[in-house]
Amino acid sequence: MSPYALSMLMSSLAMGTIITLSSSHWFLAWMGLEINTLAIIPLMTKMHHPRATESATKYFLTQATASALLLFSATMNAWMTGEWTIMNMNSYTPTTILTIALAIKLGIAPFHLWLPDVLQGLDMMTCLILSTWQKLAPMALLILTSHQLNTTLLTLMALASAIIGGWGALNQTQMRKIMAYSSIAHLGWMTLVISFAPNLALLNLMIYLMMTSSMFMTLMALNATNMNKLSVSWLKTPTLAASMMAGLLSLGGLPPLSGFLPKWLILQEMTKHHLGALSAVMALSALLSLFFYLRLSYMISMTSPPNISNANLAWRKKNNMSLINPILIVLSSMLMPITPMLLM
């Protein structure tokens, strides 16, 4: 792809998200989401492969449906209340339609089926953008309207996302599909707490973005797209493989890593609202996710492919790893000690 076209598309992506984040009018927010969608589709098809074209088509159809629903809910709300402001959405029907529209955009269960298929057909860099940057604008709208949304509907979707996100990845061998199901599970935790404590949902989103970014950048550096390639990565770059193991365990939510922090705080918040049974189910669903993260950690650190005696180390090429990756790895594994500062 031409550098000029790439820079234009990336700036459009940034602009679309910024427009949505800074708007208080539904039409501007919808316009920002549309710019976002239209900017990422050429990035998805830059690989010139039928699988990439299929992914772009699936993504376009789901996002167009979600955008139409969002505009419909905003129009219905304007018709009922006479206002287009985001913060004023009190009617039951528009808020329900809005919740469904944002769930489709984010890939929250039961509207999650497009996400693993779309990610599987893309290169790692586009997967990174789709799993991180593209979540910002819809999640911002969800946080802005969280006090007006139907809590029961959000809780049911959160529970379904956490269970499906853990269950779906158990039999996967492709890293992109595993990361897609990981994203669905994390979105479930964010959706659960969003109507009780939006600041915790925002903290969870920040930590999720750091962990997922470091994971995709490490996978790019290791050139690992499936479990077989991941198992030989220790021989190529032991340091990077060890840091990836820490990142995986952080995604699984093991203490004392950063990933444990949002889960702990969310479960604490749920028990404060006398939702102990729901907290227990969410905690048990996290064990499903933890299983496949542990499986990947075991594969990357404690197994090595059969080698002849004089070839203990694989041929090591120089890794062109970005400087931001080590910073993200440190942040995604060592934020626990500064928990009080993050909660201020």
Within 10 angstroms of residue 95's Cβ, the number of other Cβ atoms is: 19
- Number of domains composing the chain: 2
Do 332 and 223 lie in a common domain?
A: yes
Domain that holds residue 80: 1-110
Are 18 and 158 part of one and the same domain? no
Tell me the range of 88-92, 138-142, 224-228 where mean pLDDT is highest.
138-142
**CB-based burial, 298-319: b 16+ in 10 Å, e otherwise:** ebbbeeeeeeeeeeeeeeeeee
| Mean pLDDT along residues 52-77 | 96
At residue 318, does pLDDT exceed 70? no
**Cα–Cα distance for residue pair 175/33, rounded to 1 Å:** 27
Residues contacting residue 258 through CB under 8 Å, at least 6 positions apart: 207, 210, 211, 250, 331, 332, 333, 334, 335, 336
Are 23 and 142 spatial neighbours (Cβ–Cβ below 8 Å)? no
Question: What are the pLDDT digits (tens) for 246-285?
Answer: 999 999 998 888 999 999 999 999 999 999 999 999 999 9
Considering only residues 89 and 113, tell me which one the structure prediction assigns the higher pLDDT: 113
- Percent share of the chain, pLDDT over 90: 69
Q: For 194-218, how does the pLDDT look when each residue is reduced to its tens digit (9 = 90+)?
A: 999 999 999 999 999 999 999 999 9
Burial category of 46 from C-beta neighbours within 10 Å (exposed 0-12, middle 13-18, buried 19 and up): middle
294 and 169 part of one domain: yes
Q: Tokens in use for 61?
A: 């159809």
The answer on pLDDT for 99 being more than 80 is yes
Residues 85 and 165 in one domain: no
The whole-number pLDDT of residue 296 equals 92
Structure tokens at 85: 């402001």
Chain centroid to CA 131: how far? 4
Is position 133 within any domain? Answer: no
| 136, part of any domain | no
Q: Is the domain of 183 the same as that of 312?
A: yes
Same domain, 213 and 104: no
pLDDT value of position 164: 95
Residue 320 confidence (pLDDT): 62
In terms of Cα–Cα distance, which of 283, 269, 257 is closest to 335?
257
Q: Is residue 138 part of a domain?
A: no
158 in the same domain as 74: no
For residue range 33-60, list pLDDT tens digits in order: 999 999 999 999 988 899 999 999 999 9
Q: Kindly write down the DSSP assignment for every residue of 35-71, as one continuous string.
A: HHHHHHHHHHGGG--HHHHHHHHHHHHHHHHHHHHHH
Does residue 179 contact residue 212 with C-beta atoms inside 8 Å? yes
Residue 309 pLDDT grade (very low, low, confident, very high; cuts 50, 70, 90): very low
Name, in order, each residue with C-beta under 8 angstroms of 212's C-beta and a sequence gap of 6 or more: 128, 131, 132, 179, 182, 183, 186, 251
- Domain stop point among 62, 95, 110: 110
- Determine contact, residues 109/164, Cβ cutoff 8 Å: yes
98 token code pair: 């809005």
Contact residues for 69 (Cβ-Cβ < 8 A; gap 6+): 97, 98, 100, 101, 104
Is the pLDDT at 232 greater than 60, yes or no?
yes
Same domain, 46 and 182: no
The answer to which of 263-267, 296-300, 308-312, 330-334 has the lowest mean pLDDT is 308-312
pLDDT score recorded for residue 224: 87
Average pLDDT of span 58-85 = 94
Task: Supply the pLDDT for residue 255.
Answer: 86
* pTM of the predicted model as reported, rounded to 2 decimal places: 0.92
Co-location of 190 and 338 in the same domain:
yes
Structure-token pair, residue 300: 């990357």
- pLDDT digits over 19-30, tens only? 999 999 999 999
- Domain annotation covers residue 12: yes
SS3 85: strand
If asked whether residues 96 and 182 sit together in one domain, one would say: no
* CA–CA dist 48, 230 (Å, integer): 25
Question: What's residue 30's pLDDT?
Answer: 96
Assess if residue 117 is contained within a domain.
no
Query: Which pLDDT does position 311 carry in this prediction?
Result: 47
Residue-averaged pLDDT of the chain: 90
85 vs 309 pLDDT, higher one: 85
Q: What is the mean pLDDT of residues 106-128?
A: 94
Taking a C-beta distance cutoff of 8 angstroms, is the pair 249, 257 a contact?
yes
Yes or no: say if 266 and 207 are a contact pair by the CB < 8 Å rule. Answer: no
Enumerate residues 6+ apart whose C-beta is below 8 A from 267: 279, 282, 283
Which of these ranges, 11-15, 157-161, 315-319, has the smallest mean pLDDT?
Answer: 315-319
